[in-house]
Copies of this chain bind each other. A is one copy, B any other.
């Protein structure tokens, strides 16, 4: 396993600066256990555990998006300047756009978002009928943003993975229905991840449109501030409220302010982009009509880091169960120890689990660094946050053998026979 561990604090200073205030718990832990490695300011190598976790998250996002009719596409990162000039965002986005020229001098930016590209793509379809709508098109790709101060590891990088969906409807009513549908799918995703996000009213910013919400994960290091009404369901990013606003605009109840990490953002765009690129369809009366659009983002790499930020202890990573890179870590006895005779049992247990619990195939890691004590490897396993750590210790030599099972999510330690281990693991959900 290529798993660089940097367990000494002084090895994990971020490349973006040497001042301590630019780090946070998730960044520190992810660097320590080798989930990420700095490549350049705001850019990280994702190492094998992170890739596994991210692929699980992407599968969950695919499930949620496809359940509401989402279709997956994949648009280039090189985005021609003329598209951005048409929407006036070539100037508006300023220094956040990474720009370049090709060998012929043609200008591009590296897409931070794809409203222009997708609208031009849909506009190129000249014979769309209202009967074919809605379209819900999404992709999970790298995005680029030249952050003035990249920080907090994957929470605010310059190159990151995002799921961006763009929807096309035949009427404002239909578009609002689609908007609700996508918001509900986001809610369902965060529920499955066990992350308590708050959906708050938000500013439309440079994207534009007439309605917007953010999905905020409450946490102290969050860079957003949002207000929640303690009397009704109102909540909003403080950017959308007057600075003197102390009471809920809906019920006049008191507002409480919280910090959060924005993990999702939705926009009802209306015809802002469809009018620029002429994305039309033939309506029920046989007349051309502009598509009503929405756009919807989820920060894929950001969700990984944000989840680690809120779930972990100061020293140990904890994952949403479904995203743990491996569900099970098996620890055989140390070479030359009294328990060494149980080494074979661990291998057998590995085979038994793989056979009896097919969904865990490929989810079980055998920590074969048998030159280390069980205690040292248990300490590592605890840091990595495997949901189940199974040790072949002293009691593995009993008849029948008993394995020591650490259940991270319930903080229980139990001694189980092989049969009981399999019964326990057969309930593990994987994605």
A interface residues (Cβ-Cβ under 8 A, vs B): 1-2, 4, 37, 39-41, 43-48, 50-52, 54, 71-78, 80, 95, 98-100, 102-103, 106, 108, 110, 117, 121-122, 124-125, 135, 137, 141-142, 144, 146, 148, 158-159
Q: Which 9 A-B pairs have the closest CB atoms?
A: A100-B100, A46-B74, A43-B76, A48-B71, A51-B72, A95-B103, A40-B80, A76-B159, A39-B76
Pair A159/B78 contact, Cβ less than 8 Å: yes
- B51 contacts A74, C-beta separation under 8 Å: yes
Selected from B78, B80, B122, B141, the residue in CB contact (under 8 A) with A144 is B78
Residues of chain B within 8 A (CB-CB) of A148 are 103
* A148 CA / B99 CA spacing, docked (Å): 20
Asked if residues B99 and A100 are in contact (CB atoms below 8 Å), the reply is yes
Establish whether residues B46 and A73, one from each chain, have CB atoms under 8 Å apart when the complex forms.
Answer: yes
Contact across chains for B2 and A137 when beta carbons are under 8 A apart: yes
B76 with A125: CB separation less than 8 A: no
| Cα distance A39–B73 in the bound complex, in angstroms | 13
Alpha-carbon gap, A382 to B54, bound state (A): 37
Inter-chain contacts of A47 with B (CB < 8 A): 73
> What are 6 A-B residue pairs whose CB atoms fall within 8 Å in the complex?
A39-B76, A40-B78, A40-B80, A45-B74, A45-B117, A95-B103
Chain B residues near A146 (CB-CB < 8 A): 102-103
Kindly identify which residue among B44, B51, B121 contacts A45, using a CB–CB cutoff of 8 Å: B121
Nearest chain B CB to A206 CB, angstrom units: 17
Q: Which single residue of chain B is at the shortest CB-CB distance from A40?
A: B80
Known: A2-B122, A78-B98. 5 other contacts (CB 8 A): A40-B108, A41-B102, A46-B74, A50-B74, A98-B102
- How far is the CB of A299 from the nearest CB of chain B, in Å? 16
With both beta carbons as reference points, the residue of chain B lying nearest to A48 in the complex is identified as B71
B144/A2 in contact, CB under 8 A: no
Determine how close the nearest CB of chain B comes to the CB of A166; give it in whole angstroms.
Answer: 11
Alpha-carbon distance A1/B73, docked complex (angstroms):
12
A4–B144 touching, CB < 8 Å? no
In angstroms, how far is the closest chain B Cβ from the Cβ of A88? 20
A80 to B54, CA, bound (A): 24
Closest chain-B Cβ to A311's Cβ sits at a distance in Å of: 22
Does B158 contact A78, Cβ atoms closer than 8 Å?
yes
The distance in angstroms between the C-alpha atoms of A46 and B77, with both chains bound, is: 12
Who on chain B is nearest to A37 by CB?
A: B121
Interface contact B125-A75, CB-CB below 8 Å: no
Once bound together, how far apart are the Cα atoms of A155 and B91, in whole Å? Answer: 34
Q: Are B159 and A43 neighbours in the complex by a CB distance under 8 Å?
A: no
Expressed in whole angstroms, the minimum distance between the Cβ of A301 and any Cβ of chain B is 9
CA distance A41 to B107 in the complex (A): 12
A75 to chain B, nearest CB (A): 5
Give the chain B neighbours of A74 by CB distance below 8 A.
45-46, 50-51, 54
B50, B98, B125: the one within 8 Å of A4 (CB): B125
Contact status A51-B78, CB under 8 Å? no
From A1, A37, A39, A76, name the one whose CB has the most chain B CB atoms within 10 angstroms: A76
CB neighbours of A75 from chain B (8 A) = 39, 45-46
Distance in Å: Cβ of A173 to nearest Cβ of chain B: 21
**Which listed residue (B51, B73, B121, B158) contacts A48, Cβ 8 A?**
B73
A48 and B76: CB pair below 8 A? Answer: no
Which chain B residue lies CB-closest to A168?
Answer: B2
Complex alpha-carbon distance, A44 and B75, angstroms: 7
A431 to chain B, nearest CB (A): 15
Contact between B77 and A77, CB atoms less than 8 A apart: yes
Residues of chain B within 8 A of A141, CB atoms compared: 142
Min C-beta distance of A153 to chain B, whole Å: 13
**Chain B residues, CB < 8 A from A100:** 98-100, 110
Q: Which of B108, B122, B142 contacts A77 (CB 8 A)?
A: B142
Asked, given contacts A51-B72, A72-B51, A73-B48, whether A124 binds B78 with beta carbons under 8 Å apart, the answer is: no
What's the least CB distance linking A36 to chain B, in Å? 10
B73 touches A51 (CB 8 A): yes
Min CB gap A294→B, angstroms: 15
What is the chain B residue whose CB lies nearest that of A136?
Answer: B2
